[in-house]
Amino acid sequence: MCPCLATSFVPLAIQLLLFTAACFLAFFLFLCCLCVLVVFFEGGGVWLLWLGVMAGGKEEKDARIEAIASSIRVVPNFPKPGIMFQDITTLLLNPKAFRNVVELFVNRYIDKGITVVAGVEARGFIFAAPIALAIGAKFIPLRKPRKLPGEVISEKYDLEYGTDCLEMHVGAVQPEDRALVVDDLIATGGTLCAAMNLLERAGAEVVECACVIELPELKGRERLNGKPLHILVESR
């Protein structure tokens, strides 16, 4: 008698196939468990990160940035003659472009240990709040005078004519906080500089400043005391 499996109904080829299938199953189960674990611990950020990863490489990113740039409208002579105003409201009317802006920032900061995202009133709020939510950081509004109800610290900065002032709540940041400053645009850098000063006076470390648009001819970058600035598009 040969040592056979008389009741075996599955030919050898099928057995090998099933064995391979079992290996793939184990791999997929592992991936699913990993996703579930990461999801529960990282929250929304993982989702956006995953989208970023799936979105592909540099070409994909360049295409997204080009789409973002073309969705920004330039309004001449606003708020005064000679100024070409970079209007982001048209970007905000384009859900895909708006989402790409947030994703590009979130992908950059998700693993930088940012604990605080400070948004500069008011257009900075529009970008800073979704970024803070996605990376699980505290959101801090930096506001014009007399808007914040509690005790504040103030930082003056120069305008072309005169000065303005930015305020932050006392106690909003702790000395161990790592902060990101977000605004829609950097021009002379005065506002961002004031924002950074507020955070540093409260003891936080400003990791980077992030803006959608830079007006490079105004050399705002140089006012940031060497702090890195990350932008998506330069003004056209």
- Residue 162 as a binder of a second copy (CB under 8 A): the answer is no
| Strand 163-169 versus strand 178-186 pairing type | unpaired
Contacts with 157 (C-beta within 8 Å, 6 or more apart), sequence order: 163, 164, 165, 166, 190, 191, 193, 194
Say which of 64, 103, 123, 223 is annotated catalytic.
123
Number of residues that bind a second copy (CB under 8 A): 66
CB closer to a second copy, 91 vs 196: 91
Q: Residue 21: what residue type?
A: A
| Strand 84-87 versus strand 73-76 pairing type | antiparallel
- Residue 218 as a binder of a second copy (CB under 8 A): the answer is no
- Residue 68 as a binder of a second copy (CB under 8 A): the answer is no
CB closer to a second copy, 54 vs 226: 54
Pick from 52, 72, 141, 212 the residue near a second copy by CB under 8 A: 141
CB closer to a second copy, 69 vs 92: 92
How far CA 75 is from CA of 3, 42, 185, 218, in Å, comes to 86, 40, 15, 18
Cα–Cα distance measured from residue 49 to residue 112, given in angstroms and rounded to the nearest whole number: 13
Active site residue 103: no
How far CA 99 is from CA of 45, 106, 107, 154, in Å, comes to 13, 10, 12, 32
Provide the 3-class DSSP secondary structure of residue 54.
Answer: helix
Cα–Cα distance measured from residue 177 to residue 112, given in angstroms and rounded to the nearest whole number: 12
Say which of 59, 151, 160, 217 is annotated catalytic.
160
Pick from 136, 153, 164, 221 the residue near a second copy by CB under 8 A: 136
- The residue ranges that bind a second copy (CB under 8 A) are 1-8, 10-12, 15, 17-19, 21-22, 24-25, 28-29, 32, 43-44, 47-48, 51, 73, 75, 78-79, 85, 87, 89, 92-95, 98-99, 102, 119, 121-123, 125-127, 129-130, 132-133, 136-141, 143, 146-150, 169, 172
